């Protein structure tokens, strides 16, 4: 039953994502020049793309592959996270020197503990151990599940070849990682674990005491995050399993929330040189992420684009002796993403209305729509409703209907046909009279 629910949840998620984002409308370059090869920022409250730079460019997934392993785990086993498994010896060679959480063979863990290891330490042994155990040793079968679910989520440029990201064949793009992270955010367990700045791993068979796993997402920790720390950061993961002090690129996929607004940030292949915070272990993709996070939350906010108490348009009314026009109001205030320093007046309004309306009209009747655009991109369509009741005047209605009848095509056709019939009848009478006036020959009979 839980698996069926997870499948239904994923279907609902996919439908929500098919309501495509409105389009990239904003440019951070006056504040920060993005150096990543590709990037994608989406406001999840409105589905508006805030920033898009080569978002479909395929890049190496690396450690971000674990997001897909977590997606399979939560889709099929969300109700079994507190079940236990033994870390298999069979994966030891594959993850040698990349076991960031020091989860040793034959130690017993819960799947939830493995999630913490993956999301705090990007632990390869946790991902491979979960995959090997749940797939019954069939790692190829697990990878097949990853690719099937990935396609169902909607990815188009992703290919998964192992459960952790060690294999170079794992590829993705910024848009795909947005879709995967948004899918994962529908699971409460993922949101809870992702937001942890640290996790205390209990003592195990080969660990006499507990150990603390400090999250590699430095933006989560006010105590140790330094310049990377952002209170808006809710969770995220890098594509590398250990931060390095050399040249190269990094990717970071995360999400932030502030004042009720939520954004997903996918920053791919940031060059090592772009991190200017000055720490020995540079985090270029996280550096660019927090810079973009600052720009987004400083520049934009969720606001009402329309005021439901104010008249937005008027339209002529027929058959009423009380008024010649009908005032129209928006049926919804349409909360959307707007520049923080402005209001709904910055939007362009395009009305879709008939030439007139006919009484009687009831207050609240939908008369037309208004399309709102910002920077040339449609951000929403709202119904326009009648602001008051309008009664019909029977005399005006009757006179108008008589006029309509007198000028109608139907009457014209009837008159033409009647005229033609009259002409034909007249010709027939004329011919009949002519025949009656002709002299008749007398017939003489012989006897």
The DSSP-derived string for 179-210 is: HHHHHHTTSHHHHHHHT-SEEEEPPBTTBSS-
Evaluate whether 432 touches 426 at the Cβ level (below 8 Å): no
CA gyration radius for the chain?
36
pLDDT in tens, the chain (447 residues): 445 444 444 544 444 444 444 445 578 888 899 999 999 999 999 999 999 999 999 999 999 999 999 999 999 999 999 999 999 999 999 999 887 899 999 999 999 999 999 999 999 999 999 999 999 999 999 999 999 999 999 999 999 999 999 999 999 999 999 999 999 999 999 999 999 999 999 999 999 999 999 999 999 999 999 999 999 999 999 998 655 544 579 999 999 999 999 999 999 999 999 999 999 889 999 999 999 999 999 999 988 999 999 999 999 999 998 999 999 999 999 988 888 887 777 889 999 999 999 999 999 999 999 999 887 778 889 999 999 999 998 887 777 777 776 776 776 777 788 888 888 888 888 887 777 766 655 555 555
Helix, strand, coil percentages in the chain from 3-state DSSP, rounded to 5: 35, 25, 40
Q: Is residue 84 part of a domain?
A: yes
Q: Is residue 437 part of a domain?
A: no
Question: Both 291 and 368 in a single domain?
Answer: no
Question: Both 236 and 102 in a single domain?
Answer: yes
Question: Both 170 and 275 in a single domain?
Answer: yes
Question: Both 377 and 287 in a single domain?
Answer: no
Q: Is residue 233 part of a domain?
A: yes
Question: Both 352 and 239 in a single domain?
Answer: no
CATH number at residue 354: 2.60.410.10
3-state secondary structure of 71: helix
Question: Both 409 and 379 in a single domain?
Answer: no
Look at the chain and report how many structural domains it folds into. Answer: 3
Helices 409-437/394-406 angle, 10° precision: 50
Q: How far apart are CA 312 and CA 134, in angstroms?
A: 58
Residue ranges making up the domain that contains 352 = 305-386
Q: How far apart are CA 415 and CA 117, in angstroms?
A: 89
**Residue at which a domain ends, from 237, 266, 299:** 299
Question: Both 317 and 409 in a single domain?
Answer: no
**CA geometry: angle 287, 290, 294, nearest 5 deg:** 140
What letter does residue 344 receive in the DSSP assignment? G
Q: How far apart are CA 147 and CA 152, in angstroms?
A: 9
> What values do phi and psi take at 169, rounded to 5?
-75, -10
Evaluate whether 181 touches 154 at the Cβ level (below 8 Å): no
User: What's the predicted TM-score (pTM) here?
Assistant: 0.80
Question: Both 292 and 339 in a single domain?
Answer: no
Question: Both 364 and 412 in a single domain?
Answer: no
Q: How far apart are CA 18 and CA 16, in angstroms?
A: 5
- How many residues are recorded in the chain? 447
Question: Both 181 and 318 in a single domain?
Answer: no
Q: How far apart are CA 120 and CA 199, in angstroms?
A: 8
Question: Both 279 and 357 in a single domain?
Answer: no
Question: Both 77 and 186 in a single domain?
Answer: yes
């Amino acid at each position: 039953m839980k698996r069926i629910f997870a499948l239904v949840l994923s279907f609902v998620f996919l439908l929500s994502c098919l309501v495509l984002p409105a389009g990239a409308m904003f440019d951070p370059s006056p504040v920060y020049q993005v150096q990543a090869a590709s990037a994608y920022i989406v406001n999840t409250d409105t589905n508006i793309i805030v920033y898009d730079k080569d978002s479909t460019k395929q890049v190496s997934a690396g450690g971000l592959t674990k997001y897909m392993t977590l997606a399979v785990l939560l889709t099929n086993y969300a109700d079994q996270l507190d079940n236990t498994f033994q870390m298999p010896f069979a994966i030891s060679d594959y993850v040698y020197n990349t076991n960031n959480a020091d989860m040793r063979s034959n130690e017993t863990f819960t799947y939830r503990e493995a999630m913490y290891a993956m999301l705090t330490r990007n632990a390869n042994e946790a991902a491979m151990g979960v995959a090997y155990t749940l797939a019954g040793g069939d790692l190829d079968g697990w990878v097949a599940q990853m690719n099937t679910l990935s396609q169902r989520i909607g990815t188009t440029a992703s290919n998964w070849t192992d459960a952790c990201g060690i294999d170079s064949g794992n590829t993705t793009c910024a848009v795909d990682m947005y879709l995967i992270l948004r899918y994962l955010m529908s699971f409460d367990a993922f949101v809870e674990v992702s937001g942890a700045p640290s996790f205390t791993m209990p003592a195990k068979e080969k660990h006499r005491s507990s150990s603390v796993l400090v999250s590699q997402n430095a933006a989560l920790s006010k105590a140790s995050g330094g310049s990377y720390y952002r209170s808006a950061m809710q969770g995220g993961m890098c594509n590398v399993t250990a931060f390095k002090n050399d040249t190269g690129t990094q990717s970071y996929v995360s999400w932030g929330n502030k004042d009720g607004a939520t954004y997903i940030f996918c920053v791919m292949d940031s060059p090592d040189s772009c991190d200017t915070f000055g720490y020995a272990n540079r985090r270029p993709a996280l550096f660019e992420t927090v810079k973009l996070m600052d720009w987004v939350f400083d520049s934009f906010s969720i606001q009402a684009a329309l005021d439901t108490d104010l008249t937005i348009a008027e339209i002529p009314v027929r058959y009423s002796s009380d008024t010649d026009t009908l005032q129209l109001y928006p049926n919804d205030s349409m909360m959307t993403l707007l520049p923080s320093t402005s209001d709904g007046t910055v939007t362009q309004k395009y009305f879709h209305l008939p030439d007139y309306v006919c009484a009687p009209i009831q207050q609240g009747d939908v008369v037309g729509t208004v399309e709102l655009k910002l920077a040339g991109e449609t951000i929403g369509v709202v119904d326009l409703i009648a602001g008051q009741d309008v009664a019909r005047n029977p005399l005006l209605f009757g006179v108008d209907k008589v006029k309509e009848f007198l000028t109608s095509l139907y009457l014209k056709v009837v008159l033409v046909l009647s005229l033609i019939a009259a002409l034909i009848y007249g010709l027939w009478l004329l011919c009949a009279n002519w025949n009656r006036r002709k002299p008749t020959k007398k017939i003489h009979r012989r006897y």
